[in-house]
C-alpha cells in the first residue's frame, strides 16, 4: 500500500468515526448516505461502521446483530447453492454460524489470534475444508463489501483518486 492511499484510508476512517460519534457535518452525512445508496449490499454500511468504530462497538449493538444475522444468511445461502454438488458435507447450524462469526472477525479486524481452522473443525467434528470454505466465503464477501463502501464513501467525499 502506497503512502498516499494509506493517508486517504486513515483520513476517511477518521472522518467516518467523527461522523458516527455525533459530529455530523452536512458533507459527511451526504457522503455516508451516498455510499450507502451506491453499494451492492446495504450491510456494507454496518460492516464499515464496525470496522472503523471497533473501540466504540458497544454503541453499535444493532449493527453487530445485523452483521451477524447477515453472516448467518450468507452461510445458509452458500450451503444451499452447493448442497446439490455435495461440496459442504456434514453441514450443521452450530458450526456454520461459528464459521460465519470467524469469517466476519477476519474481515473486520484481520486474522485474530484465536482458534484456527483445524481446532474449530475438531471442536465441531467436521472436516477442515468445509469449515474453511464457509469461513473464507463470509470473510471474502464481507471484505469486498467493506472495500466497496469505503470506495463509494471516498468518492462522495471528493477523494477523486481513491476510487
Does residue 100 carry a pLDDT above 70?
Answer: yes
Does residue 6 carry a pLDDT above 50?
Answer: no
Q: Between 87 and 124, where is the model more confident?
A: 124
Does residue 8 carry a pLDDT above 50?
Answer: no
- Contact yes or no for 159/8 (Cβ under 8 A): yes
DSSP state of 92: -
Confidence of residue 3 (pLDDT cuts 50, 70, 90): very low
Of 119, 141, 112, 108, the C-alpha closest to 41 is 141
pLDDT digits (tens, 9 = 90+) for 129-162: 999 999 999 999 999 999 999 999 888 888 655 4
pLDDT digits (tens, 9 = 90+) for 105-129: 999 888 666 678 999 999 999 999 9
- Contact yes or no for 43/67 (Cβ under 8 A): yes
CA distances to 29, 36, 163 from 26, rounded to whole Å, are: 5, 15, 22
- Contact yes or no for 35/133 (Cβ under 8 A): no
Amino acid at each position: 500500500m502506497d503512502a498516499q492511499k494509506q493517508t486517504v484510508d486513515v483520513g476517511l476512517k477518521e472522518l467516518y468515526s467523527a461522523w458516527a460519534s455525533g459530529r455530523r457535518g452536512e458533507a459527511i452525512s451526504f457522503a455516508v448516505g451516498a455510499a450507502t445508496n451506491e453499494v451492492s449490499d446495504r450491510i456494507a454500511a454496518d460492516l464499515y461502521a464496525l470496522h472503523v468504530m471497533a473501540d466504540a462497538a458497544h454503541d453499535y449493538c444493532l449493527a453487530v446483530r445485523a452483521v451477524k444475522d447477515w453472516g448467518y444468511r450468507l452461510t445458509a445461502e452458500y450451503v444451499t447453492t452447493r448442497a446439490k454438488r455435495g461440496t459442504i458435507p456434514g453441514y450443521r447450524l452450530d458450526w456454520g454460524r461459528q464459521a460465519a462469526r470467524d469469517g466476519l472477525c477476519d474481515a473486520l479486524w484481520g486474522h485474530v489470534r484465536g482458534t484456527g481452522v483445524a481446532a474449530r473443525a475438531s471442536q465441531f467434528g467436521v472436516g477442515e475444508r468445509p469449515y474453511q470454505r464457509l469461513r473464507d466465503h463470509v470473510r471474502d464477501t464481507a471484505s469486498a463489501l467493506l472495500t466497496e463502501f469505503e470506495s463509494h464513501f471516498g468518492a462522495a467525499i471528493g477523494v477523486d483518486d481513491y476510487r
